[in-house]
Structure 1
Amino acid sequence: MDSTTTNSQCCPFSINLWPTGEGTRRVLVERLRNKLTTNSIFTKKYGCLSKEEAEESAQQIEDLAFNTASQLYDRGPDGDGGAAVQLYAKECSKLLLEVLKRGPAAKNDKVLASKKETNMTGDEGALAISEVVKHSPLLEDFRCSSTRVDSRGIALSNALETCSYLKKLDLRNNVFGAKAGVGLSKSLFKHANLVGVYLSYLNLEDEGAVAIANALKESAPSLEVLEMAGNNITGDAAPALAACIASKQHLTKLNLSENELKGEGATQIGKALEGLAQLKEVDMSNNSMRRAGARMLAQVVIEKPGFKLLNIDGNIISNEGVDEVKEIFKKFLTSLGLWMRMIPKEEMTVRNLEKDKVKAKLMGMTWSLN
């Protein structure tokens, strides 16, 4: 056996394809830029981008594709990284085509925004997406829901501050917490174009909900949809929420379900709805609301010419209260929707215990009932 054979046997080696080097990334950006500015089947059909637009779009496409591939690589074993490389190339091609389809002078960030609907991003993914968002000032539609983002939602909230063209914001089903909610509120002051805000199940609590309500009151004059369900919001936050809601003359849908607004809070929200002529749907289910609050809401929404659905299911409404609401809706049941049941106090107590168990699980605590 010669020395060459011995050395090759003693010194095995492997090649890792991911992460790709900075040089390779720069070359890819250059290729993407060329594809956006030179004649091809697609540019003849959709038009070429200007040099400035192509430069910005090419960098955004590469950033997002790289982050998506890195998340795949980090989540599980990928051998030499071949799967990540394939995903990287696939994402670049897909995003390139979407940008081309939007044509020159289009708000290309909007296309990229749809790709942030990641499924299990987590905190590290949130930080990566935040970097992309910072460089997407023309972003119009942003969704990052059901991604397990918790305290690092603050970074994502701060990044959104640069997106002054934002129209729809969907952050549902994360565990932001109150502090991230306050951070988000600082960004919302700058979003005058918002028409849809989806912030359900973020664990905002009163502190985060009040901060966001105060911010939206001063911005988003054309807001049409507001969802803040399942955020542990109590009656203490009702005045701020009511003031915000009352200022939104274009509001068509409101969802504050699965909170703890109770009777007084529901009454304040009901009064806030009185001047909203375009309102069509209200969901105040599972809020520990009693007879007076249910009656108040029914009396307010029944006056809306285009109103379609009131959901007050899962509240502590007495038999008399149920009958009162039914009577209010009686003449309009063919055109209006009403979702309501009476829940006995005993069942409501059990439901509250279940809510506490879920909340404890989200916060990483163990639950015991002696």
Structure 2
Amino acid sequence: MAMANFSFVSMAAQAPKESGISFQNKAATWDNAEQAKDVVDALNRESTVHYLNLDGNTLGVDAAKAIGEALKRHPEFRKALWKNLFTRRLKSEIPLALKHLGAGLIAAKAKLTVLDLSDNALGPNGMTGLEDFLRSPVCYSLQELYLNNCGLGPEGGCMLSKAMLDLHANAKAAGTPLQLRIFVAGRNRLENVGATAISKIFKTLQTLEEICMPQNSIYHKGVAALAEGLKLNPHLRVLNLNDNTLTCKGASEIAAVFEHTPHLREINFGDCIIKTDGAYLFAEALEQHHKQLEVLDLGFNEINHDGGLMLVTAVVNKPNLRLLNLDGNCFGQKGCELIIAEMEKTANPAALQPFEEDDSEDEAEKASDDEENSEEDDAETVEYGEDDYEQDGGDSKDYDPNDTTEEVDEEDDEYADENAAEDTAYVTTRAFNTMNINETTSAKSDDTIANAQNDNLNISAEDFVLGKEPCTLQQFGTLNGDNKLHKLMSVIDQFDNDNHLLLLVFTTLKCAHHSKSSKAALDLAVSLYKTTFEYAIKTKQEQRVLDYVLKQLCILRSEEPFKSPYDMTNCRYALREVISLSDFANDNIKNTLKVCLDQLDA
């Protein structure tokens, strides 16, 4: 999967001479004033402190209060570098700690230019500790705001938008208009609701030069709202919406932005499923202008080689181009060769990044044939995501051990009812364990379950589902009942929550185990794969189930390695069969599984 590439303007470049204090990556635990004494002493000792870097430590409420008191004597303070500062803290601690730090700067009458709170599990709850601070005179001079991977969610995004709009109004009334240049809010699960709220910031400020919002589960309606705000920021230089679901509809909205943002240097819409039609729109919009373009990332977008050639043609007149990423699309070997040959004719052929994860030529042709129907497919997929706040674009593809999104658990969130199942998927700390089924109401004894793999050829549906090992092909052929799917689901449906899902996965694998040697087993495995991911979508656990299935298929590395009792070749074969079906799951799941399987063949 394509990685979300951030392009942050260097903070050091902004001021030739700065004096500050750094405790970066000390892994210190500051629970109280005594434990935070080194920070407080440093603040009291230094007469000039332009920045305080506390990244990579963990701060409690009392310690924050002591540091806030010390900050009161530093009106020259400019940069709050406080990312990754609340590891293992309760959600009730974070807003209080932020209020103490903010109160110190407000009392000092500092003029902040940089606020970095990335990699902190703020969520809507944490935003309550920032709202007053963001509206205060301290932030009238704010130029750079980093809130990457903060688990804001739709509600937190709305809270942030309201605070920033109030800040703009307050600063304007004070005669010091807000000049925010950099806005970074990736990996926040903002979705369409949050993105629409954030778009109001862009519409109002009109000063943005860099906007990075990757992995936020934003669909084309949210993208359309953002586009309206982007058009009003003519000085935009960096635009990164990597790993959101634009589809061709969203690509059309963004393509219309480009004529209003002539100074763009970096454009990143990798992993956005813009498809070939979207590539055509981007190419047409970029071809005649944007002579300063340096980076164009459109990898992993299901673009065929015609679309790739159009994009190469669009960058021929871009003398500063240093990176063109088209990897992971549907070019096929011949298509890649054509694109490379065409790129050789440009002034900077080395800008084209290597092709490492492209689909086969047959798949590329299939993608081209399917392009005519792409709008219908997009509409179906996007409609589901918008109505149900589906959110698996983000974290899904690039695992980050510091990802804070799982820590957000707001009981009072107005979206709690719709997102209850999804929150569970993120909040839970106990992942599925191989063959570990909790105690249930099933009347079967452990001995009976353990005997499911005996030599009895008349194996029952219950024995088949609850047994731990794959049955023989002969046993499968005599599985009790003609309608095997109905029989198996009648057993699985007796269980709920994780147990239901766990049994779905392993029953699927047991059938897939024989998929190459039995058409009946293959058909049953395909039906069960479909049922598994339909359940994942229904309960909003897409990424959780994707990760678990990929681990069971030995495609995704597990923290606890195991040897599967199932034939991986057969299980993957059945999976390839099901992802080729038009009615299987959605584009996000299909794309993830397809790329992972293709990596094995590379």
Which TM-score applies when normalising by structure 2? Answer: 0.44
2:332 corresponds to which of 299, 309, 318 = 318
The equivalent residue for 1:230 is 243
Are the structure 2 counterparts of residues 107 and 291 from structure 1 closer, same or farther at C-alpha, using a change threshold of 3 Å? farther
Q: Which amino acid aligns with 1:339?
A: P
Which ranges in structure 2 are unaligned for 5 or more consecutive residues?
1-30, 34-42, 80-108, 169-177, 368-391, 398-421, 427-536, 550-577, 579-602
Q: Which amino acid aligns with 2:259?
A: A
SS of the aligned residue for 2:296 comes to strand
What is the deviation of 1:131? 3.1
- 1:328 and 1:94 map into 2 onto residues whose CA distance is 58
- 2:331 and 2:244 map into 1 onto residues whose CA distance is 22
Q: Which amino acid aligns with 2:284?
A: K
The equivalent residue for 1:365 is 540
Are the structure 2 counterparts of residues 262 and 291 from structure 1 closer, same or farther at C-alpha, using a change threshold of 3 Å? same
What is the deviation of 1:97? 4.5
Which TM-score applies when normalising by structure 1? Answer: 0.69
- 2:248 and 2:160 map into 1 onto residues whose CA distance is 28
The equivalent residue for 2:184 is 170
2:142 corresponds to which of 139, 143, 147 = 139
Residues 280 and 306 of structure 1 are in contact (CA less than 8 Å); yes or no, is this contact kept in structure 2?
yes
Cα deviation per residue 1:164-191 (whole Å; 9 max; x = unaligned)? 3111000011101101111111121112
What is the deviation of 1:365? 2.0
Q: How many residues align?
A: 295
What is the deviation of 1:239? 1.8
Q: Which amino acid aligns with 1:159?
A: A
The equivalent residue for 1:151 is 154
2:272 corresponds to which of 250, 259, 263 = 259
SS of the aligned residue for 2:239 comes to strand
Cα deviation per residue 1:92-116 (whole Å; 9 max; x = unaligned)? 53685483478xxx981214x23x3
What is the deviation of 1:137? 2.9
- 1:258 and 1:311 map into 2 onto residues whose CA distance is 11
1:302 corresponds to which of 308, 316, 339 = 316
What is the deviation of 1:232? 1.2
1:85 corresponds to which of 62, 65, 79 = 62
What is the deviation of 1:151? 1.8
Q: Does 1:340 align with 2:367?
A: no
Q: Does 1:210 align with 2:211?
A: no
What is the deviation of 1:339? 3.5
What is the deviation of 1:249? 1.0
Q: Which amino acid aligns with 2:334?
A: E
Cα deviation per residue 1:311-355 (whole Å; 9 max; x = unaligned)? 011111133321111111225566534333431376999xxxxx7
- 1:108 and 1:221 map into 2 onto residues whose CA distance is 26
What is the deviation of 1:241? 0.4
- 1:292 and 1:334 map into 2 onto residues whose CA distance is 18
What is the deviation of 1:283? 0.3
Cα deviation per residue 1:50-69 (whole Å; 9 max; x = unaligned)? xxxxxxxxxxx9xxx9xxx9
Cα deviation per residue 1:239-298 (whole Å; 9 max; x = unaligned)? 210010222111000000111110001110111112111001000011111111111111
- 2:206 and 2:131 map into 1 onto residues whose CA distance is 21
- 2:124 and 2:334 map into 1 onto residues whose CA distance is 49
- Aligned CA RMSD, in angstroms, stands at 3.8
**Is the deviation greater in 89-98 or in 299-308?**
89-98
Residues 42 and 100 of structure 1 are in contact (CA less than 8 Å); yes or no, is this contact kept in structure 2?
no
Q: Which amino acid aligns with 1:151?
A: P
Are the structure 2 counterparts of residues 157 and 343 from structure 1 closer, same or farther at C-alpha, using a change threshold of 3 Å? same
What is the deviation of 1:125? 0.8
Are the structure 2 counterparts of residues 333 and 241 from structure 1 closer, same or farther at C-alpha, using a change threshold of 3 Å? closer
Residues 118 and 145 of structure 1 are in contact (CA less than 8 Å); yes or no, is this contact kept in structure 2?
yes
Residues 107 and 138 of structure 1 are in contact (CA less than 8 Å); yes or no, is this contact kept in structure 2?
no
The equivalent residue for 2:127 is 126
The equivalent residue for 2:501 is none
- 2:290 and 2:272 map into 1 onto residues whose CA distance is 22
- 2:221 and 2:208 map into 1 onto residues whose CA distance is 22
- 1:95 and 1:298 map into 2 onto residues whose CA distance is 55
Q: What pairs with 1:62-77 in structure 2 (closer than 5 Å)?
A: 73=60
**Is the deviation greater in 127-136 or in 304-313?**
127-136
Are the structure 2 counterparts of residues 148 and 308 from structure 1 closer, same or farther at C-alpha, using a change threshold of 3 Å? same
Residues 240 and 268 of structure 2 are in contact (CA less than 8 Å); yes or no, is this contact kept in structure 1?
yes
What is the deviation of 1:160? 1.8
**Is the deviation greater in 158-167 or in 171-180?**
158-167
Which ranges in structure 1 are unaligned for 5 or more consecutive residues?
1-17, 21-34, 47-60, 74-83, 350-354
Are the structure 2 counterparts of residues 240 and 107 from structure 1 closer, same or farther at C-alpha, using a change threshold of 3 Å? farther
Are the structure 2 counterparts of residues 158 and 251 from structure 1 closer, same or farther at C-alpha, using a change threshold of 3 Å? same
Are the structure 2 counterparts of residues 89 and 289 from structure 1 closer, same or farther at C-alpha, using a change threshold of 3 Å? same
Q: Does 1:200 align with 2:214?
A: yes
Residues 332 and 363 of structure 2 are in contact (CA less than 8 Å); yes or no, is this contact kept in structure 1?
no
Residues 310 and 339 of structure 1 are in contact (CA less than 8 Å); yes or no, is this contact kept in structure 2?
no
1:42 corresponds to which of 39, 47, 53 = 47
- 2:323 and 2:201 map into 1 onto residues whose CA distance is 32
Residues 32 and 63 of structure 2 are in contact (CA less than 8 Å); yes or no, is this contact kept in structure 1?
no
**Is the deviation greater in 145-154 or in 87-96?**
87-96
- 2:68 and 2:110 map into 1 onto residues whose CA distance is 19
Residues 127 and 156 of structure 1 are in contact (CA less than 8 Å); yes or no, is this contact kept in structure 2?
no
Are the structure 2 counterparts of residues 96 and 269 from structure 1 closer, same or farther at C-alpha, using a change threshold of 3 Å? farther
Are the structure 2 counterparts of residues 295 and 98 from structure 1 closer, same or farther at C-alpha, using a change threshold of 3 Å? farther
- 2:363 and 2:240 map into 1 onto residues whose CA distance is 29
What is the deviation of 1:128? 2.2
The equivalent residue for 1:185 is 199
